[in-house]
């Protein structure tokens, strides 16, 4: 119990430091410098950044307000009996005025739009980071499968040559030769499929990230997440882009409802004017005020806005629930995939040893060719399963780091 308690304390301390400073980028992923450049140049991130810029202009529009100065002018001709005709004119300017705190509410609405835009930029960068990690690992995993199949192809070719030699010496049958040829054809087919899989993985990566070119080599060994699930959940929830967007949208809906409430009292239009009358003997200067009387439509708009607040609140609850489910699934997969990789590695090691022993037995004439090929197929399947399990374990652990904004400067979006 003391050992587990100490481990928990150490994990918590590590988590606290990592949450503040981030962690080193895993060696199976591109460097921070390269990844940040590729992520920021992705169309999805650029789209979100342009939307943020548009939100900034929209905020300026809201701050300026909907009212503009309006100039008016009129002229008329008056006939005064017994006196004659006179031309009269009037000119003026007027402008609506926001009252009831509407100007402040409009500024806060603009700020809320900017906040939503920033949250969407952060979420776009996280999603692109996930895509980069997945595509990068896909190429490396496909390369590992290709290397494995090339080794198997060499074995199959050497085996066919050995069987052909034994047949000419009278130690193998025509059936053995046919089986060896069939085995070689099957391995060639699988090797061709592995080549195609690598080509497709490369194409997907370079089409999405044109400058990406992973250094192909052996994967590192996966490790279990260093912190308990509760620590990951707190960290991820604190910076979750979808939650930030939903929360900002709720605040905006509340501000919009307050703005609609304030708009029940219509903005007055205030103006000044001057006119010339009575044969230019009278000069009039005055002030005008126009106040619309609100009707049922303003009340209906308010009720609509209040319901939209409830919609946004429900959307926030739904997003939080979905995010927590995703965190739980990702953590479970990050832990479980490491255990599955270890099981697969043990199975692959056992299959590799079995293939070695069977090869020796075949050389000594203790087993037939079909038994040897069966064991080799089992070994190949075990090795492929171990490679896939390794890639999946790394994939889930990398996703956990990305969702927690711990690598590639994603913490700057929090």
DSSP string, 283-320: EEEEEEEE-PPP-HHHHHHHHHHHHHHHHHHHHHHHHH
Please give the pLDDT value at position 14.
42
The SS3 assignment for 76 reads: strand
Please give the pLDDT value at position 85.
78
Buried/exposed 304-335: b ≥16 CB within 10 Å, e otherwise: ebeebbeebeebbeebbeebeeebeebbebbb
Please give the pLDDT value at position 20.
47
Nearest CA to 32 among 354, 411, 414, 343? 411
Please give the pLDDT value at position 89.
87
Which DSSP string do the residues of 338-356 spell out, in sequence order? HHHHHHHHHHHHHHHHHHH
Dump pLDDT digits (tens) for 320-376: 999 999 999 999 999 999 999 999 999 999 999 999 999 889 888 888 888 888 999
CB 58 within 8 A of CB 110: yes
Domains of the chain (ranges; CATH) run 2-413 (1.20.1600.10)
Please give the pLDDT value at position 278.
66
In this prediction the pTM is: 0.85
Please give the pLDDT value at position 2.
38
**Rounded Cα gap, residues 109 and 59, in angstroms:** 7
Please give the pLDDT value at position 82.
65
Please give the pLDDT value at position 338.
97
Query: Roughly what angle, to the nearest 10 degrees, separates helices 43-64 and 32-40?
Result: 60
* Average pLDDT per consecutive 10 residues, the chain (414 residues; last block may be shorter): 39 44 84 96 97 97 93 84 77 93 95 97 97 96 95 90 84 86 94 96 96 86 93 94 96 96 92 82 87 87 96 98 96 96 95 91 85 91 95 96 94 79
Q: Look-up: residue for tokens 């609509």?
A: 304
Please give the pLDDT value at position 279.
65
Residue 364: CB atoms within 10 Å: 8
């Amino acid at each position: 119990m003391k050992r587990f308690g100490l481990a928990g304390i150490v994990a918590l301390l590590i988590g606290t430091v990592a949450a503040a400073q981030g962690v080193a980028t895993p060696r199976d992923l591109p460097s921070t410098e390269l990844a940040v450049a590729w992520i920021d140049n992705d169309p999805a991130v650029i789209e979100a950044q342009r939307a943020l810029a548009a939100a900034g202009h929209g905020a300026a529009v809201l701050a300026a307000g909907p009212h503009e100065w309006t100039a008016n002018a009129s002229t008329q001709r008056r006939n005064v009996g017994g006196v004659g005709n006179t031309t009269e004119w009037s000119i003026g300017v007027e402008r609506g005025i926001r009252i009831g705190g509407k100007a402040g509410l409009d500024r806060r609405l603009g700020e809320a739009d900017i906040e939503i835009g920033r949250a969407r930029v952060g979420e776009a960068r996280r999603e692109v980071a996930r895509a980069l990690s997945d595509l990068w690992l896909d190429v490396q995993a496909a390369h590992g499968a290709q290397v494995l199949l090339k080794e198997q192809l060499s074995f199959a070719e050497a085996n066919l040559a050995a069987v052909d030699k034994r047949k000419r010496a009278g130690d193998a049958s025509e059936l053995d030769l046919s089986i060896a040829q069939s085995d070689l054809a099957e391995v060639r087919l699988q090797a061709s499929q592995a080549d195609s899989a690598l080509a497709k993985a490369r194409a997907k990566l370079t089409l999405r990230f044109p400058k990406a070119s992973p250094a192909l080599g052996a994967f590192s060994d996966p490790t279990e997440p260093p912190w308990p699930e509760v620590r990951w959940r707190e960290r991820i929830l604190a910076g979750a882009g979808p939650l930030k967007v939903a929360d900002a949208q709720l605040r905006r809906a509340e501000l919009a409802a307050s703005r609609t409430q304030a708009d029940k009292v219509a903005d007055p239009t205030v103006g000044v004017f001057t006119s010339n009358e009575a044969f230019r003997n009278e000069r009039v200067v005055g002030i005008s005020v126009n106040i619309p009387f609100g009707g049922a439509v303003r009340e209906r708009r308010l009720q609509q806005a209040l319901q939209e607040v409830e919609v946004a609140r429900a959307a926030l609850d739904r997003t939080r629930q979905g995010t927590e489910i995703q965190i739980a699934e990702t953590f479970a997969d990050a832990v479980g995939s490491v255990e599955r990789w270890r099981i697969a590695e043990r199975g692959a090691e056992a299959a590799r040893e079995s293939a070695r022993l069977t090869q020796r037995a075949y050389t000594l004439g203790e087993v037939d060719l079909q038994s040897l090929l069966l064991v080799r197929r089992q070994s190949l399947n075990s090795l492929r399963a171990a490679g896939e399990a390794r890639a999946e374990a790394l994939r889930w652990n990398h996703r956990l780091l990305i969702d927690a904004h711990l690598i590639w400067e994603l913490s700057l979006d929090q």
